Amino acid sequence: MRKSSVLLLVLVLICTLFAGCEGGGSSEIALITDKGNIDDKSFNQGSWEGVVEFAKANKISHKYYKPEEASDAGYLAAIDLAVTGGAKVIVTPGFLFEVSVYHAQTKYPHVKFILLDGAPHSADYSDFNTGPNVASIMYAEEE
């Protein structure tokens, strides 16, 4: 049930975020994986399936990026690659992306970010800030 909820939520958020983008079908959606793969039977897979389903239905290019290292710097480097590749919406599945999205939201104000199960914050937890270009989705732990 959780996988289908993630998939549905990602689809709804992508629809909402693309409502404000120019260029219609020419925009790209990117997924940044954490240390797992897109077939991990968890957040990465559910999020990727949502991206693929939406992108195919709307004829939007899409791609996933797997960071070279599982660290805040590695996640931010993958976000940089996605933006360089033309991403307008970047999906980040999980709390491991909180610090990298915190930095990316100001670095790329015209890119939309979907942060699943997390909220952007500084590395030392001294500042929590969810910018206008970030949709931060928190799940109830019991689900």
Confidence of residue 126 (pLDDT cuts 50, 70, 90): very high
Identify whether 143 is part of a domain. Answer: no
Buried b (16+ CB within 10 A) or exposed e, 25-42: eebbbbbbbbebebeeeb
pLDDT digits (tens, 9 = 90+) for 127-139: 999 999 999 988 8
Torsions phi, psi of 61, nearest 5? -70, 150
User: What are residue 112's DSSP bridge partners?
Assistant: 89
- Average pLDDT of the chain, as a whole number: 85
Looking at this protein, which amino acid is placed at residue 28? E
Identify whether 142 is part of a domain. Answer: no
Identify whether 31 is part of a domain. Answer: yes
Confidence of residue 2 (pLDDT cuts 50, 70, 90): low
> What element of type H or E holds 90?
strand 87-93
Identify whether 101 is part of a domain. Answer: yes
Domain range for 73 is: 2-137
Confidence of residue 26 (pLDDT cuts 50, 70, 90): very low
Distance from C-alpha of 71 to C-alpha of 78, rounded to nearest angstrom: 11
pTM of the model: 0.81
> Domain holding 98: CATH number?
3.40.50.2300
Distance from C-alpha of 108 to C-alpha of 106, rounded to nearest angstrom: 5
Confidence of residue 79 (pLDDT cuts 50, 70, 90): very high
- What's the number of domains the chain is made of? 1
Q: Is the pLDDT of residue 80 over 90?
A: yes
Identify whether 32 is part of a domain. Answer: yes
